[in-house]
Structure 1
Amino acid sequence: MSIQDHPRILVVDDLEPARRLLTDAIRAVLAGKGQGGDGIVEARSFTEAMVMLDRGFDFAFVDLHLPDGRGWDIIRRLKANPDMVVAAVTVMDDHSSVEATLAAGADGYLIKDAEPELLHFRIERLMIGEPSLSPAIARMMLARFRPQQDQADDPLTDREREVLSLTGRGLRAREVAGQLRISTHTVRDHLKSIYRKLDVSSRAEAAIEAQKRNLT
């Protein structure tokens, strides 16, 4: 998959060096795809970000702890549009922060002090539609889940397993619909059912479940 043309990208962080780190990495990813970074918009606070949320962004990278509010609330608002890709970018790697972020609907959880090459790679994966967790975070979350169920005990229908498999590979709802020759509305209904049955609330958590079931 390729990055869409001229994406609109929101970067939320109160610290200028952190914003610069992110925007430079995003520009590098876009440059590698022959695109410029004209669509990048920066917000320096929770308040500043909240007034921008209706601008139709395609991607957002959000710091979790801002001086005047919580990044989780921004993520939750942005994910009212399920096709928008939203990632937390933070220095925190504790269970509670990760779980709160995924519960808010984030598609990725990136650690700010990761090696630049790794941060670049994770941003690129997110921007082509693949849920992305830093390796340490992915291991933490996988260890938290119970052992894989036998397929006979799997609560998902065959169609839901197909939808979960494609979602776990990074496809968005409209792309899943195209692959399965069903409507985007039907895909979203299946995703709601999958989230309810598996007790997950984000694409990143769903991707972990797909991996557990050997569907990716």
Structure 2
Amino acid sequence: MKKQVLNIFTVVTLCIAVVGCKKAKEADTSEAEAAAVSESSMQKYNVKVSESVIAWKGFKPTGTHSGSINIDNGVFHMENGDLKSGTFLIDMNSIVCEDLNGEMKAKLEAHLKGSAEGEEGEFFNVAKFPTAAFEVTGTQPDKDGRVLLSGNLTLKDIKNNITFPAQITTEGDMVMIDSDAFTIDRTKWEINYGSKSVFDNLGDKFINDEIELKIAIKGRKN
């Protein structure tokens, strides 16, 4: 009986571990599409940049790092509670790492912002590409009142269309757009540093191609 209880406990523990370690789903990625166009009947919202942020997480064999990136500015349009169009500019110079301190924090942030040109490629190279962008191309209803939000993500002047689940809620004259956590394959934007799918002989010093993102944008009715 004691052995049976222990076996059941082991199974339950393993199930909890699997759920806890479940990775975010990769966003559907395809070629860039035409941006959605606003019409005069739609209500305009200006992004409150102080209350909007993109959380990021990167992975490597020895662990993870996480942080945030600020929205520089943005505007979007709603109609009958539905998101119809929008463009959001992203300040790539605002990248911060939130799980390190001191010299290690500064070193990683400089690395992410720098070009790091060489045989291992480069990261975001913000001196050359200080701004990224996301422009809405469409939405589709999803389960539990969510939507599948599609838009062109531009990084390093490379534009791809991505689709991911999001929740859109309204409160007075405010609208909140909160995405589920999702991943993108950074090499599709030529962010190749430390990618074992691009470079050989990296051993265990590679960095995963997947970057996890979670977008939270708040807008006020104009």
Tell me which interval the TM-score lies in, with the shorter structure as reference length: under 0.3
Bigger-Rg structure (1/2): 2
TM-score by length of 2: 0.25
Larger helix proportion, structure 1 or 2? Answer: 1
TM-score by length of 1: 0.25
